[in-house]
Amino acid sequence: MKILEVLDRKSIISDLAASNKTETLKEMAAPLAEAAELDPDALVNVLVEREKLGSTGIGGGVAIPHGKLKDLTSIALGFGISRQGVAFDSMDGKPTHIFFLLLTPENSTGLHLKLLARISRLLKQEPFKEKLLQTETGDEIYQVIQAEDEEF
């Protein structure tokens, strides 16, 4: 599955304003909730509950917050960059700058895991992360992701 099959341009935030974990989740969830016609508070609650199981901050400046929602009909993906970095309880204890927010319907475990694996593989590539961090706009971010998606 390609990332751009589920990433809506309106869900790309090129400069997150949030300075902590919960605010980051709220800021990233807002455009996804609007697009999927979901209650943003319910969406954030699902993400916060998932974070209680263990941080989705995987280290290296990356986090992939994710959750499953019963009212969601298809996979939704958001992206954000925090220029200042967010304390996200990452495994390496360092600030997080790159975020992919993944939401899936409750019954789509296979797709959920495939997309998580795809995103994780991409974000292990330092040149890809560097290109993302050098962008300034949502369109530039989209183009960087598109270039990698085409290689897949």
In order of start, what are the domains of the chain with their CATH numbers? 3-151 (3.40.930.10)
Mention every residue, 6+ apart, whose C-beta is less than 8 A from residue 149.
2, 3, 4
For 24-56, the pLDDT digits (tens) are: 999 999 999 998 888 999 999 999 999 999 999
> Does position 64 have pLDDT exceeding 80, yes or no?
yes
Q: Kindly report whether the global pTM for this prediction surpasses the value 0.85.
A: yes
What six digits make up the tokens of 86? 């967010």
Assess whether 66 carries a catalytic annotation. yes
Residue range 76-104: mean pLDDT, rounded: 96
pLDDT band at 112 (very low <50, low <70, confident <90, very high): confident
Residue range 54-70: mean pLDDT, rounded: 94
Asked if 55 and 90 count as a contact pair (C-beta separation under 8 A), the reply is yes
Q: How far apart are CA 138 and CA 11, in angstroms?
A: 9
Catalytic hit among 21, 26, 66, 112 = 66
What six digits make up the tokens of 24? 């980051």
Indicate the angle between helix axes 138-151 and 126-134, nearest 10 degrees.
Answer: 160
Residue range 96-121: mean pLDDT, rounded: 89
